[in-house]
Chains A and B, each alone.
Chain A
């Protein structure tokens, strides 16, 4: 093992070391001084981010005997995940203090989850990918159940755990078939094996791939494997929901990209139809059911299902621009999701601001926050000039280019349905009188992060070219 290998994996190694440090330090910190844990966790994130930034190679590098990969795509996804987790920490701090949940475990589990995400993003073998996935999943189960005395949290954690275990089992089962047929577990070797012997491209392999897709779709929360998602979003504490809604989605993108494109790209014709159906169902069902929700977290959960449908639509086209569009969509979506849950956190005091009613009259209580929420909602609805529009535009463009104009029509119609429930939030904020007229007090740091988050959604919408170009270049 040479130095170069260690340098390329230094971010993960550093993060793991820091987790151990935080773990030990947290033992000696009392509840009053929990800010130390918070600060240390943020510092670990900054350090990890710095290492990712400085050690991402310009070309694809394989390390650890080919089971790990470092490339610009991984760099981008890792950076975005780290930023999302960092934003989540800042949003959550005063909420956790208020609800007496400022425990070291929150930060530790989140950091462990992030470690799993980083490993998933860089995995180049089915087993490493599975390891990363489980590291993430186990942290998430525990995070959801983090508030011990809450029945809702326990229930949703249980649901999440059982369904998640089934999905992992399905994924592992699929992995074993793929390994059995191709004799390889590294993605590039699987691709080579299929290319060298086209006769492998037959029923046993498709059987394995189908099971793997089930597992992946579950992790994304795509229909028909979405049952856990609304319950978990609603049952978990909002900071946890924020975590689940953001960085793991990027990991899931890496998962689907590495498996289906890097590994099984030659089988595109076989998996295209499955992904397309999943995409269609997710978009339609997610957007329609979201209309009926009165709990904002649940509504955003169904909206997430709808957005996943769009991401899958970019994947099924099987083209470079399709993948890069899906990447752009994932990145911008998590940005908006972070902002949305961040605002829910800000509005919560004493009790969760999870009902749509809690947004009533926000336009008068705090015009600035209301405007940020307006940006986020319109961004999610895909109204220009907010960035969500350009994300949808790129996806629709690849779908039309692949010859599926009818699918593009379904996509735009489902976004019209979606527009209704996003507009409803705006309606509650601006057109209704406030029920709770208490001034919203939040720390300067939270205000700053929320403002940057909201303005970025507008800014990236007006100048989307750079990020779009970058997404294209990392996919090529």
Chain B
């Protein structure tokens, strides 16, 4: 029974738990405890289901697994159609892995309306899993948009000073990006008479149709990734969001954009993707280099990490769209695999970095780099973790940050020496902005009395950061299981996108 509906269970269990939390509501300490333990256990059960999914998942095939299919809206041929392959499973695992940490990191930090806070995160988790497993375009769109609502509330209610501005900007930006995606889905429905993503992929389309659809999808996904120049919502949203919100935003929501490219844009409009690939590569390289410089100049820790996220996500789009620079599919697969690994690794690292900032913020209520200095003297254990994650962020070999970036850079060099050269600047820039921040925050003399009064990590924080540190190292040292999970699907994707969908025209 569970076997057949594992994906549904993973989507609806956290949502249901969230609704229950809303009904329990806020109250005294006892209620507060019930809320916290309930949300933690819901997220852990989902994690266990995710682990089970991982072991049941068949690496050797590229076809969709754990399929659930039922009619939802017959008159429009919309289905409740779920299924996962080697691209979606790693991202689902990332989602279920990060959420318990988010719950735990907010354990006794959130004092205002905790029930709604935890409920928002659990509902968000379910919706995100839904995005990664939906195979029906409308179902995908429903999850995709619905996801904005809890995040809108999380930033708006529990955020910093300019939270209203930031959250409205976040919502409207992403909403504007995605409405055109809906129009292109409806257009494709006109061609195929259903909303099945797999039939969208098989539908023949002229180059002009593909180009228009590609642009519509690009708006949705580029905003989400975010790509330069539509990235401006991200630093605002990150800075104003509470720690948990920043973690989810950076670790998972940004990956939706990358997922969209690889799940929708590339297979549905392969010819247009090829047509626009140079533009995409240029935009990605601008993100990697220019945003890297911007990050260098930041005075606010969260903003710095936000900009570093944009730069790192540039590698993801670079890895995807460099495929068309190659004549063989094996080299292309290197770039795509690198991009996928980069998504997972960035999820872990940026999540951990935001948690580190959260640890400091909970104590000092400041995100300014200048407010700190010499933290390593008072918080040695914390400093060790933060240095590790910063190294990973800078792409140090042995950490997960290295694997994806290295693969993408390698592919770039094979494609074009200049791509490779520009992409490789991140190794310098990334190290510069991250380590410079580490130096200013952690090292040197104790800067002021507030820093002198800091206490080191408590048990809860220690275990959270410790678990993340282990996972960052594990992916860095032994990425094979993850790559094996994706390889069959990516190979198939390469074949799929190498065939033109234009009917009756020779390219």
Contact = CB atoms under 8 A, between A and B. Distances in A.
A419 B175 contact: yes
A423 B72 contact: no
B146 A419 contact: no
Contacts of A367: 25, 116
Nearest 9 A/B pairs, CB to CB? A412-B179, A384-B142, A465-B73, A431-B156, A400-B186, A416-B176, A384-B145, A408-B183, A468-B75
Contact of B138 (A364, A393, A416, A419): A393
Interface residues of B, number: 37
B141 A384 contact: yes
B183 A384 contact: no
Contacts of A401: 190
A412 B179 CA distance: 6
A393 B179 contact: no
Interface in B171-210: 171-172, 175-176, 179-180, 182-183, 186-187, 189-190
Given A427-B156, A431-B163, A468-B73, A420 B172 contact: yes
Contact of B142 (A378, A389, A394): A389
Contact of B189 (A364, A397, A413): A397
A341 B86 CA distance: 49
Contacts of A383: 145-146, 148-149, 175
A3 to B, nearest CB: 37
Most buried by A among B172, B175, B190: B175
A464 B186 contact: no
Task: Tell me the interface secondary structure of chain A in the complex.
Answer: helix
B164 interface: yes
Given A385-B142, A464-B73, 19 more contacts: A364-B113, A383-B148, A385-B146, A389-B145, A396-B182, A396-B183, A397-B186, A405-B183, A408-B183, A412-B182, A416-B172, A419-B171, A423-B168, A427-B156, A427-B168, A430-B157, A465-B73, A468-B75, A469-B75
Contacts of A356: none
B384 interface: no
A472 interface: yes
A363 B152 CA distance: 14
B74 interface: yes
Interface string A414-437: 011001100100110011000000
Interface string B124-158: 00000000000000100110011011001100110
A400 B195 CA distance: 14
Contacts of A371: 22
B175 A416 contact: yes
A408 B190 CA distance: 13
Contacts of B149: 378, 383
Nearest to A430: B157
A13 to B, nearest CB: 35
B157 A416 contact: no
Nearest to B115: A367
A177 to B, nearest CB: 38
Contacts of A420: 168, 172
A409 B73 CA distance: 23
Interface in B369-394: none
Contacts of A431: 156-157, 163-164, 167
Given A393-B182, A468-B73, A423 B152 contact: yes
Contacts of B148: 383
A423 B179 contact: no
B146 A384 contact: yes
Contacts of B152: 423, 426
A101 B164 CA distance: 39
B145 A400 contact: no
Contacts of A389: 142, 145
Contacts of B282: none
Interface string A134-147: 00000000000000
Contacts of A430: 153, 156-157
B220 to A, nearest CB: 12
Nearest to A399: B186
A416 B167 CA distance: 15
Nearest to B168: A423
Contacts of A394: 76
B183 A400 contact: yes
B168 to A, nearest CB: 6
A187 B342 CA distance: 66
Nearest to A403: B190
Most buried by A among B72, B180, B186: B186
A383 B171 CA distance: 11
A127 to B, nearest CB: 36
Contacts of A469: 74-75
Interface in B427-444: none
Contacts of A416: 172, 175-176, 179
A400 B213 CA distance: 14
Contact of B164 (A384, A405, A408, A427): A427
